[in-house]
Structure 1
Amino acid sequence: MAIDVRRQIPAAFERVERNKYGYNAKQVDQFFQRARVSFEDPAEARVKTGSSDVRGVSFDPVKGGYDAAVVDAALDRLEDAFARRERDELIEAQGEEAWLRQIGKLSGVLRARLHRPAGQRFRRPEKKRVRSYDVADVDALCDRLIGYLEQDQPLSVDSVRRAVFGAAKGPDGYDEAQVDAFLDRVVELMAAID
């Protein structure tokens, strides 16, 4: 099935008011142009773009920039399109069994962490003043992920992408970088499955 990437990327994004912060328009436009070329004609792309690149991109905040919520929604659609293409290319090149093995391996790694005891799923920062995520909030999402992966309970990839956790300080919470990296892998798995 062919995917029309032009439907995933609007011609122009809405801007926020001049006194409010949004994403740097030039950076956004450059990234989406690179992504478009990479998606439509990968052989012509100077820099290959994939679903992980879309998931990890960030833009500087500037006054009067593009509306972050609108850009983020377009990024989500674009990431899903790249993930579908990557899945289809893997299946075409190596067969469905290779894709299932890849999904199974990633799922196993994620489940191992999810089945750790509540309050012990992620490391705690050693420094007392560093920001961290509320343990109960993160554990609640982990429980929902177990339900999704093992009991076929509904959970959208966007709810994981947009998860918000309460703030904690230092060892009272989970290390933000480790939780974020884990959730990136969860999104990668969910995008490949759905």
Structure 2
Amino acid sequence: MALDIHRQIPASFERVQRSEYGYNAKQVDQFLQRARVSLETPEQAAEPINSSDVRAVSFDPVKGGYSAAVVDAALDRLEDAFARRERDELIAASGEEAWLREIGKLSGILRGRLHRPDGERFRRPAKRKARSYNTADVDRLCHELVSYLEHDKPLSVDSVRRAVFRPAVGPEGYEEAQVDAFLDRVVELMAAID
């Protein structure tokens, strides 16, 4: 089942001013070429790409590079296309019940953390001066996620992808890496459901 990557990714991206930083165009183009092969002819992909690869990719900043906002938006669409294909392949291979079990398992793991008390959902950084996320901001998003998962309140996957938290310092906030890893799993779940 081939997907049309041209609907997901434009042929070229807008560049930032020469004095501003954007994404390394060569790295973006190489990754998207690999993604194109993985989407359109997966059997020919030397290094197959999946939705988690798209979610985790990063590019070096360079002056005059591709606009990060434009590339990120295209990557979000690409991740969604891979997630839909992965869902469809799992359903075709193992049935809808297998897909529902996988979704249920991931949802259960995420809900366990979401139902922890405010201020206790994530680790606090061990180092006093380490950067961290404002606990109230993160907890607010967690409340929205509970409403989405348990009460069918609308929430777009893009609002989770684009979530921004005020900075905190050390144990005043939540450890950034743990929050980011959790939100990656939330995006994985939301992309599979929607």
Q: TM-score, normalised by structure 2?
A: 0.99
Q: Distance in 1 between matches of 2:2 and 2:59?
A: 29
Corresponding residue of 2:161: 161
Equivalent residue letter for 1:108? G
Corresponding residue of 2:177: 177
Number of aligned residue pairs: give it. Answer: 194
Corresponding residue of 1:43: 43
CA deviation after TM superposition for structure 1 residue 3, in Å: 3.1
Corresponding residue of 2:89: 89
CA deviation after TM superposition for structure 1 residue 5, in Å: 1.4
Q: Distance in 1 between matches of 2:11 and 2:153?
A: 36
CA deviation after TM superposition for structure 1 residue 120, in Å: 0.1
Corresponding residue of 2:70: 70
Deviation per CA, 1:98-137: give whole Å up to 9, x if none.
0000000000000000000000000000101110000000
Q: TM-score, normalised by structure 1?
A: 0.99
Q: Distance in 1 between matches of 2:73 and 2:46?
A: 25
Gaps of 5+ in 1: none
Q: Distance in 2 between matches of 1:154 and 1:43?
A: 37
Gaps of 5+ in 2: none
Q: Distance in 2 between matches of 1:79 and 1:54?
A: 6
Q: Helix, strand or coil: the match of 1:124?
A: coil
Q: Helix, strand or coil: the match of 1:128?
A: coil
Corresponding residue of 1:8: 8
**What is the RMSD computed on CA atoms of the aligned residues?**
0.8
CA deviation after TM superposition for structure 1 residue 43, in Å: 1.1
Identity value in percent: 77
Q: Distance in 2 between matches of 1:135 and 1:113?
A: 14
